[in-house]
Structure 1
Amino acid sequence: MNEIASAEERLGTAGVARRAVDGAESQRASRLWWDADADDYLAEHGPDIGDADFVWCPEGLREADARLLGDVRGRRVLEVGSGSAPCARWLRTQGAHPVALDLSGAMLRHAAALGTATGLPVPLVQAGAERLPFGDAAFDVACSAFGAVPFVAEPERVMREVARVLRPGGRWVFAVNHPMRWMFSDDPGPDGLTVQQSYFDRTPYVEVDAAGRATYVEHHRTLGDRVRDVVAAGLVLDDVVEPEWPEGRETVWGQWSPLRGALFPGTAIFVTHKPR
């Protein structure tokens, strides 16, 4: 029986480049990558994220415990970069009215199937986060658990767009790789404990095919950059949560592991709101 080809094989990934990537190339690469990787990603991480659960990060912090979004009952909530939308389905169980937005059609097909399987369907919208297809002040809350923000060339535009679609007083909470992780290789073992590059080097990480076209792109912003993007969008930064690795948690999720988690943070969660 033949094995299913990986996303790298499907996209013809031939190597890694460190070079500038504009918004159009970055968005194209992200759409192609997540369409190609959706099946494999969910086969590997589906049990970690659940069918209707809100897990903020590989450290296992759940919205049910953290309550970073506040009381969502009766609120219109936009999930940005929803993937298969387990967070949006969980929000529905809490009495919210969620909308799940993602760039990848393959991820949204999984979201639709899981909505049917769980009896918790949610509205699904395919679009990029830098141009949200909603009117001003359309939502009470917005959230993103590692969705969209690390993969866009202009995250400041995402902040402005989210601020636009939030009502005054609305909350925007998003989780990303902790910026200091950029210095290290994506290795959960001992090799991932050695600094490999400058924290201040914002050149994107780009995987390319044989013709040099991007097949996967991830963008780096420093902690200060993230704060400036939030403030420039007219939002108020209320907190930055850096979840500690829980004692006894043995999960290895990509670059996250007990070894690294005991020494430095893997996730930064920015809690913001739009002034009234």
Structure 2
Amino acid sequence: MTDAQENSPAKKHNQGAWDRMARGGHRFAQPAKDDEFKNPLKTLDRWGWLGKSIYGQRVLCLAAGGGRQGPLYAAAGAVVTVVDISGAQLEIDRKVAADRGLQLRTVEASMDDLSMFAPADFDIVIHPVATCYVPDVAPVFREVANVLCAGGIYISQHKTPTSLQAEVRRSENGYELTEPYYRSGPLPEVRGSRHREEGTLEYLHRWDQLLGGMCRAGLVIEDLVEPLHAKEDAEPNSFEDRSKYIAPYVRIKARRVGQEQARTEAGSLWLPS
């Protein structure tokens, strides 16, 4: 089965899984806390990639439902749209926004099909860990590049390939690699680990697919960090102990390039080069 053939069943499976997790109070379906709203931009952007203010910026929070990303960016003054495949996740966003008097728009859609938006509709795309839920990341990056304006910023976070290759339980040699790097199809399900989400279909994407895929879509990578989750005195088999051996996530800042603006009497049309 090709990635294209597998994509639709994967969407339906993961949509159902995330709906169940959202209704069950999963850790990624928890609204932002009161103290996080005190300085929402600092909460979200500890590396300062977005500058001192995003007031009035058009922000797309992609595959980012759950009551945290969208409401916090809205509280920071952005004009926010949240896209998620899970209607239950989006319902949390709408409730948080209503409770806090915030404005945001929600759209139920898959991250690899943003055809409901016009080219250059957004100044910033924020994409928390989610690409592991689609078999093919190339269409995702193409969609992101299309909806970003020239010079627009794309900030995304991904599960590292090595983390998805490695066992979640520690052996006497550490956390061993047991999944091949070059592979197709979903990964075997893992239970009882914060590195994986039970009930979902997850896919390993190689570095050439992640970094190269962004570049081929017209995005230039400006920075890359591995958020630190390791703790020296962590208990064996814990999330923090495994993170001493393997970085679980990579966070990437990229910028949209290669667009030329063609003026027409009816308005502006953005054409990818």
TM-score calculated relative to the size of structure 1: 0.76
- Are residue 145 (structure 1) and residue 145 (structure 2) matched? no
Q: Which amino acid aligns with 2:151?
A: G
1:90–1:197 Cα change, 3 Å: same
**Partner-residue secondary structure (3-state), 1:25:** helix
Q: 1:120/1:22 Cα in 2 relative to 1: closer, same or farther (>3 Å)?
A: same
* 2:113 pairs with 1:95: no
Letter in 2 for 1:125: V
Query: What amino acid is aligned across from residue 221 of structure 1 in structure 2?
Result: H
For residue 73 of structure 1, report the CA deviation from its aligned partner. Answer: 2.0
- Alignment coverage as a number of residue pairs: 240
2:50 aligned residue:
69
Larger radius of gyration: 2
Moved more, 78-87 or 18-27: 18-27
Deviation at 1:233, TM superposition (A): 0.5
Q: Is 1:29 the counterpart of 2:13 in the alignment?
A: yes
1:134 Cα shift? 0.4
- What SS is found at the alignment partner of 2:245? coil
Residue number in structure 2 paired with 1:114: 96
User: Does the 8 Å CA contact 2:59/2:123 hold for their aligned counterparts?
Assistant: yes
Q: 1:162 to 1:41 in 2, by over 3 A?
A: same
Verify: 1:225 aligned to 2:206, yes or no: no
Following the alignment from structure 2 to structure 1, what is the Cα–Cα distance between the partners of residues 229 and 254?
23
RMSD: 3.0
SS of 2:201's partner is strand
Query: Does the CA-based 8 Å contact 2:32-2:72 persist in structure 1?
Result: no
Q: Work out which structure has the larger RCO, using CA pairs closer than 8 Å and 6 or more positions apart in sequence.
A: 1
Instruction: Give the aligned partner of residue 240 of structure 1.
Output: 224
Instruction: Report the AA paired with residue 219 of structure 2.
Output: L
- 1:169 is aligned to 151
Change (3 A) 1:249 1:119: farther
Asked if the contact 2:122–2:147 (Cα under 8 Å) also holds between the matched residues in 1, the reply is yes
Distance 1:93 1:250 in 2: 35
Change (3 A) 1:134 1:85: farther
Aligned residue type for 1:69: L
Change (3 A) 1:162 1:196: same
Distance 2:109 2:235 in 1: 32
1:190 corresponds in structure 2 to 170
Distance in 1 between the 2:142 and 2:234 partners?
Answer: 38
Match of 2:113 in 1: 131
Say yes or no: does 1:271 pair with 2:271.
no
Q: Find out whether 1:158 has 2:140 as its counterpart.
A: yes
Kindly state the Cα deviation for residue 108 of structure 1 after the two structures are TM-superposed.
Answer: 1.1
Shift of 1:85: 3.6
Secondary structure in structure 2 of the residue aligned to 1:216:
coil
Q: For the structure 1 residues 251 and 103, does the alpha-carbon distance in structure 2 shift closer, same or farther, using more than 3 Å as the test?
A: farther
In the aligned structure 2, how far is the partner of 1:48 from the partner of 1:117?
Answer: 11
Taking structure 2 as the reference length, what is the TM-score of the superposition? 0.77
Change (3 A) 1:35 1:142: same
Gaps of 5+ in 1: 1-17, 55-60, 208-214
Q: Is the 8 A contact 1:205 1:218 kept in 2?
A: yes
8 Å Cα contact 2:166-2:176 kept in structure 1: yes
Runs of 4+ in 1 over 3 A off after TM superposition: 18-21, 44-54, 246-252
Deviation string 1:113-154 (CA, Å, 9 cap, x unpaired) is 22222333421111111111200100000011113x211122
Q: 1:47 to 1:104 in 2, by over 3 A?
A: closer
Residue 24 of structure 2 is aligned to residue 40 of structure 1: yes
Instruction: Name the residue aligned to 1:11.
Output: none
